[in-house]
Amino acid sequence: MMKLIAGKTGLRTLLAGLVMVLLAGDALAHGERAQLASMRMRTVHWFDTKVEPLNVKVGDIVTVTGKLVTSEWWPKHMPSIEETVYLNIGVPGPTFLRLHSEVNGVPMMRSTAFPLGKVYEYKTVLRARVAGRYHVHPILNVKDAGSLVDKGTWLEVAENDSGAPFVNEITTLTGETIDLETYGLDGVYTWHLIWIAMGVAYLLYWLIRKELFIPRFIRIRELGSDRANELMTKKDFVVSSLFFTTALALILGGYLWAENKYPITIPLQTGLVEVEPIEIPTGGLEVVVDHATYDLAGRSLSMQLQLTNNSEGPLRIGEFLTANIRFLNPDVNEGEIYEGEEMVSKDGLTVSVDTIEPGQTVDVELVASDALWEQYRMTGLIHDPDSRFAGMIFYYDENGERFFQEVGGAVLPNFF
């Protein structure tokens, strides 16, 4: 569905044209469930998503930050994020202004490309524009693949105290300070009124006459096509010439007037920007996936892993993340949960070996289970064309420092 919407015009525009209703953006709400389970598990892993503050007034600043890892198990049948991607934010239309956005410190006004298997830290700064209650989702628009949607966070925007109209001022390079909410509209209205008046006047000239469609049809049929032009009078000729001249003069005059008033203009700017990816800061844990199964009835995914601790100290697995769902290991009790954060299963992860000592190689079973599995339609994995899974494991050293890396591979259903 997401693909259809983002894929441009198509059916949506046809409907929009017919009923003249355009739901720009609204269709995205809760898109987290609409996508294929495999697409959510193996595209990007969003984590540390933080929206703050959660209660603001119109005009206030809201900051959305987080990280994402591009999956090494990116589905082959899907256009890759390594081509073109745009960091976006899922709010219902311009209920917020986007003041700033960046990935790994690089401003993101344009589209970019993300190599796979790397970490990207993003930040989007918004300014509340329209009061309401919104489910804010970070989004990546991937060219030809559609939108990848992170989980949402509810955010409450109240009217501002003064009730003054919203202004959005910027300063141009020519030194003018302008309010983008209404900028240029005087000219737009004036010229549109001029042209509409011209158009209506022209139509009235031709349509208000004693003999219109049927009488003219009868006369032309009588005259025959060779003499049909006799219906065009001298007055018609003069009036048309006047309209022609006036229209041409207005077009050229308006053009020259605008050129004179705005001598410095530039074309629309476009093109890709480049982002330097960050390597995943692994903590010396080597992970080999033996096999993985998912339980259709039990709403769980279990992974048999062979883990080798190459680091100096003991390591403990605290969290498994897939499809934006966090499964936390209650025994480790690490991993911050942010205010308003959704899709967290606080005791969803069981790990068969609690601590992996330095130098040790052990077989470990990880079981991620929760009702969220079903709620977010992860059981749909069975409909997947290539039956693979991917996710992130987060582990901690004895000082509580967090490391993460991606795991993935083939996955089989378990019917018992």
Site residues for another protein, window 239-268 (CB under 8 A)?
240-241, 243-244, 247-248, 250-252, 254-255, 257-259, 261-262, 264-268
Binds 135: which of Cu ion, another protein, none (CB < 5-8 Å by kind): Cu ion
Residues pairing with 339 in the sheet: none
Which amino acid is located at 218 in the chain?
I
Alpha carbon 279 to chain centroid, angstroms: 24
Distance between start and end Cα atoms, the chain: 32
Whole-number Å distance between alpha carbons of 321 and 41:
9
Report, in Å, the least distance between residue 3 CB and another protein. Answer: 11
Per CB under 5 A, 92 contacts Cu ion: no
**How far is the C-alpha of 298 from the C-alpha of 304, rounded, in Å?**
17
Torsion of CA 165, 124, 341, 67, to 10 degrees: 180
204 binds, among Cu ion, another protein, none (CB under 5 to 8 A by kind): none
DSSP tag of 376:
T
Least separation, in Å, of the C-beta of 47 and another protein?
A: 21
Among 181, 276, 312, 374, binds another protein (CB under 8 A): 181
Position 185: which residue type?
A: L
Given a contact cutoff of 8 angstroms between Cβ atoms, the answer to whether 314 and 398 are in contact is: yes
Report the nearest approach of another protein to the CB of residue 307 (Å): 39
Instruction: Examine residue 227 and tell whether it contacts another protein (CB under 8 A).
Output: no
Member of 152, 318, 335, 408 binding Cu ion (CB under 5 A): 152
3-state secondary structure of 169: strand
Would you call 252 helix, strand, or coil by DSSP?
Answer: helix
By C-beta, is 149 or 303 nearer to another protein? 149
φ and ψ at residue 64, rounded to 5 degrees:
-115, 120
The smaller minimum CB distance to Cu ion, of residues 34 and 87, is found at 34
Closest residue by Cα to residue 345 from 364, 308, 318: 318
Residue 155 C-beta: closest distance to Cu ion, Å? 11
Asked if residue 164 binds another protein (CB under 8 A), the reply is no
Could you tell me which stretch among 65-73, 188-196, 370-378, 384-392 binds another protein (CB under 8 A)? 188-196
Residues 84-113 binding another protein (CB under 8 A) are 84, 86, 88-100, 107, 109-111
Which residue of 40, 42, 67, 129 would you call a contact of another protein, by CB under 8 A?
Answer: 129
Please report whether residue 338 would count as binding another protein according to CB under 8 A. Answer: no
**Nearer CB in complex with another protein: 76/210:** 210
Per partner kind, with CB cut-offs from 5 to 8 A, the member of another protein, Cu ion, none near residue 227 is none
Residues 21-50 that bind Cu ion (CB under 5 A): 29-30
In whole angstroms, the minimum distance from the beta carbon of 158 to another protein comes to: 16
Residue 311 touches which member of another protein, Cu ion, none, C-beta under 5-8 Å by kind:
none
Instruction: Give Cα 295 distance to the centre of its chain.
Output: 32
Q: Are 81 and 154 in contact (CB under 8 A)?
A: no
Task: Give the position of tokens 């100290």.
Answer: 313
Output the smallest distance, CB 210 to another protein, in A. Answer: 8
Q: How far is the CB of 201 from another protein (least distance, A)?
A: 9
* Among the listed residues 174, 306, 333, 375, the single contact to another protein using CB under 8 A: 174
* Binding range to another protein, per CB under 8 A, among 212-220, 301-309, 333-341, 383-391: 212-220
DSSP string, 96-164: EEEEEEEETTEE-SS-B---TT-EEEEEEEEEE-S-EEEEEEEEEEETTTEEEEPPPEEEEEEPPSS-P
Residues of this chain, 61-90, that bind Cu ion according to CB under 5 A? none
Q: Which residue of 30, 105, 169, 192 would you call a contact of another protein, by CB under 8 A?
A: 192
d(CA 368, CA 345): 9
Write out the E strands in 240-299.
285-295
Q: What are phi and psi of 314, to 5 degrees?
A: -70, 150
| Contacts to Cu ion from residues 269-308, by CB under 5 A | none
CA distances from 302 to 36, 100, 346, 408 (A): 20, 41, 17, 12
Q: Binding residues for another protein, how many (CB under 8 A)?
A: 114
**Which of these segments, 135-143, 277-285, 299-307, 342-350, binds Cu ion (CB under 5 A)?**
135-143
H helix and E strand count, the chain: 7, 22
Residue 38 CA to residue 77 CA, distance in Å, equals 11
By the rule CB under 5 A, 135 interacts with Cu ion: yes
